[in-house]
Structure 1
Amino acid sequence: MDDRKGIAGGIRITYIGGGSRNWARKLMIDLALEGQMSGKLVLYDIDADAAQDNASIGNRISAMEEAVGKWSYEVADTLPKALEGSDFVIISILPGTFDEMEVDVHAPEKYGIYQSVGDTVGPGGLMRALRTIPMYAEFARQIERYCPEAWVINYTNPMTLCTRTLYEVFPGIKAFGCCHEVFSAEEELSALLEVFAGIKSVERTEIEINVKGINHFTWIDRASYQSINLMDLYSEAAERYSRDGFIADAEGKGSRQRGKWRWPKPVHFHMYERYGLVPAAGARHMVEFMPLAWYLKDHDPKWGFGLTTVAERREGQARQLAETKQIVRGETPIRLQQSPEEGVRIIKGLVGLGSFVTNMNLPNQGQIPGIPHGAVVETNAVISLNRVQPVMTGELPVPLQNIALRHVLNQETILQAALLGDYELGFQAFLNDPLVAIGEQQARTLYEEMLQGTKAYLPGLSGKFAIQGV
């Protein structure tokens, strides 16, 4: 803390994945707009040039007159140099390249297995996990050595397994996963207040919810604004909008625009009608946790969500790269507009500048009964000075708990397969995923092809799956 009351200075943040074209810039702008903190942010990335571009942008942002939070930005050429003495570590990486993701997402389509995202569960999520877990194991070892007291904030998917790996390798780590999917659900509830109760301009943070589940398979069973029960409003909306989704009326009221669809989507209301809980993650993520035949086999547009292709992701990355270069060359001005992310707010709370409640991914300490102790779950947590305290949420309804448990136990299997290099064990998890609705021999053929597609990131093999060149 510096000499001014209520001001935290001299904070050191390490950003692993500091060459990010998207998340890093949001963080730097959010830091500039927060006047109660200052310090140094050290960027580390295997693409050192990309990290240097972000350092240049960050220092320019900090020099802007409207930047009330002053930070210096530099690039470290090794991970130990980046980590040493840090108070916070942010991890936001792309595990592998879009070449590997191309196989993750599109190879299963030859067998009728479609994935709307392919980064959390399903065959794509599993393969992404196999190459990501060894990376996170190394991050955990280095954090334990160079900054064991640092708070670690993970943004990378698969969120659950990234966070779980950090704790498996360094049990004393202070880590949690942050996901913004729940924020959209809060915004939807705010929109319902306007449409059904005539109450406008309610910020999502003013809405109180009880969140429970695992990342990207999260649910709300209680929601309120002041004395208004928002579950009742959601039920009314489901009855009215279950066929077309929540669409703005003639006066423009309604949920936020998300691409060409509006939220909640028909599939959200369908899930609500089945389980009685509000889905708290995007439709593209939620459907991947459920049996293939329910929503993804025919990827029927009536459900209101589409499939994100890797080609679209490549195009998005190219646009972000071009924008970054334009900013570095001074051709595009930098606009200081706060992002909806909560990373800076969380850091502010942890250094003692206010407490609040938000959703977090943390090891289960009993906050969700019926889920194994130590498995990473998503619930609310209270953020305060050097403390993250999970909120006890209660059990999931049995039908949802059955689905969640299947994935929790599968994720534990994947964790061990990746740490041991046992790809036969990994195949057992592959077979057990509800999207892999094909015969065992077909599954083996697909699994082998997908292993080949990500072999550059696999540290070793055992069992029956031998990869040439490894």
Structure 2
Amino acid sequence: MVNMKIAYIGGGSRVWARKLMYDLALEPRISGTVALYDIDLEAALQNEKIGNLISENKESLSKWHYVAVSSIEEALHDADFVIISILPGTFKEMESDVHLPEKYGIYQSVGDTVGIGGHLRALRAIPIYIDIANKIKENAPHAWVINYTNPMSICTRILYKIFPEIKAIGCCHEVFGTQKLLADMVKEMLKIERPKRSEIKVNVLGINHFTWIDKASYKNIDLFPLYKEFSTKYYDEGYQNEGNWEADYFASCNRVKFDLFKQYGLIAAAGDRHLAEFMPHIYLRNLETIEYWKFRLTPVKWRILEREQKIKENKKLINGEMDVRIEESGEEGVGMLAALLGLEDLVTNVNLPNYGQIKGLPKGAIVETNVLIQKDRVRPIYAGQLLPDLNNLMLRHLYNQESIVEAYLTKNKQMAINAYLNDPMVTLPRGQAMQLYDEMLQNTKSYLPDWILK
């Protein structure tokens, strides 16, 4: 059994930390220590207790020692792996990101990657990630880093900008949801047993939350003809494969996916809520349009209630009022750890600088493609090139992301403004757009430097 140390930055997490703990408990080939660092030390201390309860549970297949630490340096010392899962700012700032634009008629279904909300969240995240990158360089330069924080592309880009030799990957589960949809399709259209997600082989190319599939197969069957028939069949009514879109803020009817296939001939490989925010003003024009496409806006008020519910659950677990039930999360983070330790090979999609794995997109920009993960290495798999119409949309967002990063690093407020105005979701006249921008900057000013507030 391999023994190792994981540094968890954001170790007070009420959602992602529990998922990691469950998956580690179910992996019998590795064990070790997880150092939980969080600016909320009390939350990290709670997770220390929960993690050790999970490790001691009879269903656990491995043994882990969880310990909350008071400094990031202590967490990183002698770490083999670093996991980053944080909220840049608080729900107060996120409330402004997502809901203040609604006063101006701009609706965001998620608000954490692109659009106005993604822009402001990035401005808060960049200084935090500059510090994290420097701390990793000083204390754990050889560790592998797995980032889960959004905006994924910008956070991962900063890690490489500040510490070019870093061994970092950005991980996201959106493609997994599309593989599950394709598995459901195979079951229905071929009248066979539903395949496992891992049996659906796909070629992924794009950027985080705006990923696309140009090849998909099950065994020796090309799934594109099936998907054309399937998406046409369910184009109007939609297809709900996970949850009820009217009751679940994270569910949809996949109608945005089907519409994008009709437009571009490729399978959009993220959830409808994310995809809608990357497109010109089509799916988020107003509340009636959103309802027509059958997906939901995710209110920050709900996220606050969810956090309160998780806090109550944590207390019940610690007090023995709730049983520990270990279950797989569906994430691949622990599988990546196993592969990097040389215990298996793994092909999966991750976010990495573009070394040439996607032709037609800038070198160095963070892109999402399949990679081969083996002992102590991550090798991008050549993904090909998008056709010009879709590539143009991709470039607009990529250059916006690059502009936000460069604006922050060079203290160029005008460049940040230009990136904001260039986002497809900013549909206001310039005067109103700048009024909204100034309001939003003020609402998150405690996380921003003086140069961008002037």
Q: 2:343 aligns with which of 349, 353, 365?
A: 353
Contact 1:188 1:264 in 2 (8 A): no
Contact 1:131 1:418 in 2 (8 A): no
Output the CA distance in 2 between the equivalents of 1:36 and 1:263.
37
Matches within 5 A, 1:394-405: 394-405=384-395
Structure 1 residue 270 and structure 2 residue 256: aligned?
Answer: no
Output the CA distance in 1 between the equivalents of 2:409 and 2:445.
15
- TM-score scaled by structure 1? 0.94
Output the CA distance in 1 between the equivalents of 2:153 and 2:244.
25
User: CA offsets per residue over residues 179-213 of structure 1, 9 Å max, x none?
Assistant: 00000000000001110001213110111100000
TM-fit CA distance, 1:336: 0.8
Structure 1 residue 76 and structure 2 residue 69: aligned?
Answer: yes
TM-fit CA distance, 1:263: 5.7
Change (3 A) 1:264 1:210: farther
Matches within 5 A, 1:17-96: 17-96=10-89
User: CA offsets per residue over residues 66-125 of structure 1, 9 Å max, x none?
Assistant: 211111010111111110110000000011011101110111112211111000000110
Output the CA distance in 2 between the equivalents of 1:166 and 1:450.
25
Contact 2:253 2:294 in 1 (8 A): no
Output the CA distance in 2 between the equivalents of 1:296 and 1:259.
16
- Find the residue that maps to 2:441 and give its secondary structure: helix
TM-fit CA distance, 1:319: 1.0
- TM-score scaled by structure 2? 0.97
Amino acid at match of 1:328: I
Deviates more, 1:402-411 or 1:413-422: 413-422
Output the CA distance in 2 between the equivalents of 1:232 and 1:246.
17
- Across the aligned residues of Structure 1 and Structure 2, the Cα RMSD in angstroms comes to 1.2
Question: Which residue in the other structure is 1:257 paired with?
Answer: 243
How many pairs align? 449
- Find the residue that maps to 1:185 and give its secondary structure: helix
Q: 2:284 aligns with which of 287, 296, 301?
A: 296
Contact 2:335 2:346 in 1 (8 A): no
Question: Which residue in the other structure is 2:159 paired with?
Answer: 166
TM-fit CA distance, 1:264: 5.2
Structure 1 residue 339 and structure 2 residue 329: aligned?
Answer: yes
Output the CA distance in 1 between the equivalents of 2:409 and 2:306.
32
Contact 2:245 2:296 in 1 (8 A): no
Contact 2:245 2:253 in 1 (8 A): no
User: CA offsets per residue over residues 359-393 of structure 1, 9 Å max, x none?
Assistant: 10000011111100000000001111011111111
Q: 2:129 aligns with which of 131, 136, 140?
A: 136
Question: Which residue in the other structure is 1:12 paired with?
Answer: 5
User: CA offsets per residue over residues 267-318 of structure 1, 9 Å max, x none?
Assistant: 21111000000110000100101112x1101242121111111111111111
User: CA offsets per residue over residues 161-181 of structure 1, 9 Å max, x none?
Assistant: 000000000000000100000
Q: 1:186 aligns with which of 172, 179, 197?
A: 179
Output the CA distance in 1 between the equivalents of 2:210 and 2:270.
6
Kindly report structure 1 stretches of 4+ aligned residues shifted beyond 3 Å: 258-264
Question: Which residue in the other structure is 2:359 paired with?
Answer: 369
Contact 2:7 2:37 in 1 (8 A): yes
Runs (5+) with no aligned partner, structure 2: none
Question: Which residue in the other structure is 1:425 paired with?
Answer: 415
Of all paired residues, the percent bearing the same amino acid is: 51
Amino acid at match of 1:31: L
- Find the residue that maps to 1:461 and give its secondary structure: helix
Output the CA distance in 2 between the equivalents of 1:142 and 1:155.
18
Output the CA distance in 2 between the equivalents of 1:438 and 1:302.
23
